[in-house]
A and B are shown apart, each in its own frame.
Chain A
Amino acid sequence: DTAVSQTPKYLVTQMGNDKSIKCEQNLGHDTMYWYKQDSKKFLKIMFSYNNKELIINETVPNRFSPKSPDKAHLNLHINSLELGDSAVYFCASSFEPLRGTDTQYFGPGTRLTVL
Chain B
Amino acid sequence: KQEVTQIPAALSVPEGENLVLNCSFTDSAIYNLQWFRQDPGKGLTSLLLIQSSQREQTSGRLNASLDKSSGRSTLYIAASQPGDSATYLCAVHSSGNTPLVFGKGTRLSVIA
Asked if B69 is an interface residue, CB under 8 A from chain A, the answer is: no
Asked if A1 is an interface residue, CB under 8 A from chain B, the answer is: no
Q: Could you say which of A33, A43, A100, A105 contacts B89, with CB atoms under 8 Å apart? A: A43
Contact between B34 and A44, CB atoms less than 8 A apart: no
B29 → chain A closest CB, angstroms: 13
Asked if B59 is an interface residue, CB under 8 A from chain A, the answer is: no
Q: Could you say which of A33, A41, A100 contacts B32, with CB atoms under 8 Å apart? A: A100
Contact between B99 and A102, CB atoms less than 8 A apart: no
Contact between B51 and A107, CB atoms less than 8 A apart: no
Docked Cα-Cα span, A55 to B98, in Å, equals 9
Q: Could you say which of B34, B41, B52, B87 contacts A103, with CB atoms under 8 Å apart? A: B34
Within B68-101, which residues are at the interface with A (CB < 8 Å)? 87, 89, 93, 96-101
Contact between B89 and A109, CB atoms less than 8 A apart: no
Contact between B51 and A103, CB atoms less than 8 A apart: no
Docked Cα-Cα span, A98 to B42, in Å, equals 27
Docked Cα-Cα span, A48 to B97, in Å, equals 10
Contact between B46 and A103, CB atoms less than 8 A apart: yes
Docked Cα-Cα span, A40 to B99, in Å, equals 20
Contact between B104 and A55, CB atoms less than 8 A apart: no
Contact between B43 and A90, CB atoms less than 8 A apart: yes
Docked Cα-Cα span, A49 to B108, in Å, equals 33
Contact between A56 and B51, CB atoms less than 8 A apart: no
Contact between A56 and B99, CB atoms less than 8 A apart: yes
B45 → chain A closest CB, angstroms: 7
Within B34-55, which residues are at the interface with A (CB < 8 Å)? 34, 36, 41-46, 49, 51-53
**Which 3 pairs show the lowest CB-CB distances between chains A and B?**
A45-B99, A100-B51, A106-B43
